[in-house]
Chain A
Amino acid sequence: MSTQTQQRRRRRGIRGFIHRLRHSRFLSNLAANRLAMIGLLIITLMVVIALYARIFIGGVGPIEGYYGEIMGSNLSGNADMAKAPPSPKYPFGLDGQARSIFPRVLFGSWLALKWGTVTVAVSTVLGVSFGVIAAYYSDLVDNVVMRTMDVLLAFPSLLLALALVSILGSGLQNAVVALILVYTPRFARVVRGAALAVLEDEYIDATIAIGAKDFRVLARHVVPNCLAPVTVQSTLNFGLAIIDLAALSFLGFGAKEGAPSWGMMLSAGVENGLHSAWWWPFFPGLALALTVLGFNLLGDGMRDALDPRMRDAID
């Protein structure tokens, strides 16, 4: 342990970072996991699609050009085209407003990844703060904070989000806020477990003995060592966050009516096209399920590659 610690101290900056990446057992374990790599491939593909959709469909000013076409109804021009089946020109068919579903699904990936990132990023930051504080100031604070998190975790995520939405009001931003509150406890728990493991190490005691201030110890030593398990938890929860966000939109609490989000398209498709146009709900759902599967595969592989001591807290 001590030589490893010294090595960790000696190499700083970019070169140290690259060195650590190349010698990381975590990454080499992960690269050997075929399923995880398939997951990574799916995620990469989705990110590329999302960026493409944002730049070429969303355009610079989001109202102009192609974006208007995927947003606006085309019924006035070609009413007979509504719910047209997939064809070479419209690979995913048309919906009830005679809009091509294909570019809408592509743009949906941008929305899903964007809001998924916001949800996971903010709840990670909040969770890391709670978790580290709980681990560092043990006993009473730890107990109350963590048990509160545990009780919150016991509620089904969708019902808890619905309860919060009924306080905050509906709308995409409120849905995201609700989900951030729902997801924060998951990160707090992982971080606390990892931070406790780090704090048990001798070198932290040594740092405190030298007289380092609380904040320095937390920022310099505890937080960096929690990064691996937090990354795993973020990956695993990214998929779940996308599902929950889509579910809120599906129930009418998230994205606005007609927005090209997967949840909204599914909702419209199930309501109006389930028996007459299977492609309407099918393709948005396929994109959603595929993205989530990608994150679950990668996250599952990452968890297996993790140091067993850190693995326990992740579920």
Chain B
Amino acid sequence: MAATNWLETRVRIVGGSLLAGVAIGALGLLVGGVRYDSQTVTTQLFAVGALVFGFGLLGWSGSVLLGRSIETVHRHLDRESDWTEASSRRAMARVAGFGGGIMGAVTVVGLLFGP
């Protein structure tokens, strides 16, 4: 029971943004394909997706790694303290999902219609 819940939350968080990424990726291919050659469009779009995905993954692991340190420092230096590890992790999972969606869309479309 607990395990399904655990999985469900995570699938919901990442899944939504993943689908959004796929949609944006497909849209980008359509729009970009009008003006540039397919090689440029797939490379650039995939690179943008990779940047977002990598950033999200880095942010996710960074939040877990540094969470406690950052919370301690904020407490002592009187900075805005609504930063929490949990919210940061969740947001970064969404960002990573979005980037992954773009990468996935480009790959699938490329494999289907590519040379």
Contacts and interface: CB of A to CB of B under 8 A. Distances in A.
Whether A and B touch (Cβ < 8 Å) is answered with yes
Interface stretch (A32-40, A145-153, A169-177, A200-208): A145-153
B80 A144 contact: no
B62 to A, nearest CB: 6
Given A147-B91, A150-B88, A313 B79 contact: yes
Contacts of B59: 147-148, 151
B10 to A, nearest CB: 16
Contacts, number: 42
B18 interface: no
B80 A189 contact: yes
Nearest to B70: A154
Majority secondary structure, B binding face: helix
A315 interface: yes
B55, B62, B91, B92 — which one has the most chain A CB atoms within 10 A of its CB?
B91
Name the prevailing secondary structure of the A interface residues. Answer: helix
B66 interface: yes
A151 B92 contact: yes
Given A143-B87, A151-B59, A313 B92 contact: no
A140 to B, nearest CB: 8
Contacts of A140: 94
Interface string B68-101: 0010000001111101000110111011000000
A62 to B, nearest CB: 37
Interface of B: 55, 58-59, 62-63, 66, 70, 77-81, 83, 87-88, 90-92, 94-95
8 A-B pairs with the lowest CB-CB distances in the bound complex, closest first: A147-B91, A151-B59, A313-B80, A312-B80, A147-B88, A143-B91, A144-B91, A315-B79
